[in-house]
Amino acid sequence: KAFNKVTCSLPKFNATWDSLRFRSRPSWFDNVKFGIFIHWGVFSVPSFETEWYWHQLKSGNPAFVEFHNRVYGCSGIQPEKFPCTGPAFSYADFAPMFKAELFDPDHWADVFKKSGAKYVVLTSKHHEGWCNFPSAQHWNWNSMDVGAHRDLLGNLSSSVRAQGLHMGYYHSLREWYNPLYEQDNADACSTTSFVDDVLLPTLKDMVTRYHPEVIWADGAGDAKCTHDSVKYWKAPQFLSWLYNESPVKEIVVANSRWGDPVVGDYSTGGDRFTPGELLNYKWESCYTIQAHSWGYDRTEDLNSFLTTSQLLMQLVSSVSCNGNLLLNLGPMADGTLDPIFEERLLEMGAWLNISGEAIYDSIPWKYQNDTPAKDIWYTASKDGVSVYGISFR
């Protein structure tokens, strides 16, 4: 008996949120539960309080201007208010200092594997516009052209994948001081030159070359018009390409920070999002080991680092309520990890080696925690046979 050959293909998505909302999320993301977030860029050189160093400097924050003028050189910011004598030193002058001379991607990947994390998300580009990979749209403002003279993103991606982990990239939509972005803002977004000439080509090039399994968008904009995900950021246009044509169309997931309105494969909510109750949609809590900063902060002391128990509680409570935990660390500009970061991660991994059955591949149970004992959380196995109660008392 003859049979006709039938070819199955994935559904095609139109460049509209109404169409994209029907995309089925790849199952791997629901199963992994725990990922590592990495904020690393030019801001790692001053490593002073926040990865928003440049923005705080340009805004005239006294603590930042005075620190910069005293330690590095004259910023030129509000000289009548912050008088400074000596050589000039702009934020761009930090770029040659971002050498990553001690960066060992194999060591990073080994630590991440031992932590029990199953996916890694690296900053490909933060709001400063600096790219951790060679980018034609960011000439002389990327890690290949200046500083390290290395493809930091490519190096880490290879090492992470060699450990069997999923690799993804954070990518800021906006660039604070890119002239095209500033002009679009000045034009009330009647122009989209930055999106057309910088953002979309960069994203497509990055996806095509590096095959990320997570696209973690952020930074939808400063002005009201730049929060428009459709008219300004053209997010549905990019995501329809990502899901229809890109080399990762079957495995990639994208988050929900594309402006408004938005539909993502999962919700990221706000920073350190902790609902504490079951949500009927997939979500992710991005959380920090250092209490205040996402990039490495030299001003924080030991008391500013969350304990291993606190971090595990965040993981368990997130998983119990249908979320993942994306736990952030900020490497130093020389490419090393603070030993406290490593210690926390390795201790989490030791716990997961014993208790991982209650985390990986689990589903929320009918109850999330005990009413009289809020620090006891529950998960269940997918087949419903097992229920796990987890406490850190």
In the block, which residue shows the tokens 């997570």? 214
The residue type found at 189 is C
For residue 45, what are its two tokens?
């050189």
pTM: 0.95
Taking only the tens of pLDDT, the chain with its 393 residues reads 454 554 455 679 999 999 999 999 999 999 999 999 999 999 999 999 999 999 999 999 999 999 999 999 999 999 999 999 999 999 999 999 999 999 999 999 999 999 999 999 999 999 999 999 999 999 999 999 999 999 999 999 999 999 999 999 999 999 999 999 999 999 999 999 999 999 999 999 999 999 999 999 999 977 778 889 999 999 999 999 999 999 999 999 999 999 998 889 999 988 888 888 999 999 999 999 998 899 999 999 999 999 999 999 999 999 999 999 999 999 999 999 999 999 999 999 999 999 999 999 999 999 998 877 778 999 999 998 999 999 877
Can you say how many angstroms the Cα of residue 158 is from the centroid of all Cα atoms in its chain? 18
Which letter does DSSP use for residue 265 in this model? S
Q: How far lies 78's CA from each of 45, 52, 59, 75, 90, in Å?
A: 23, 18, 9, 9, 13
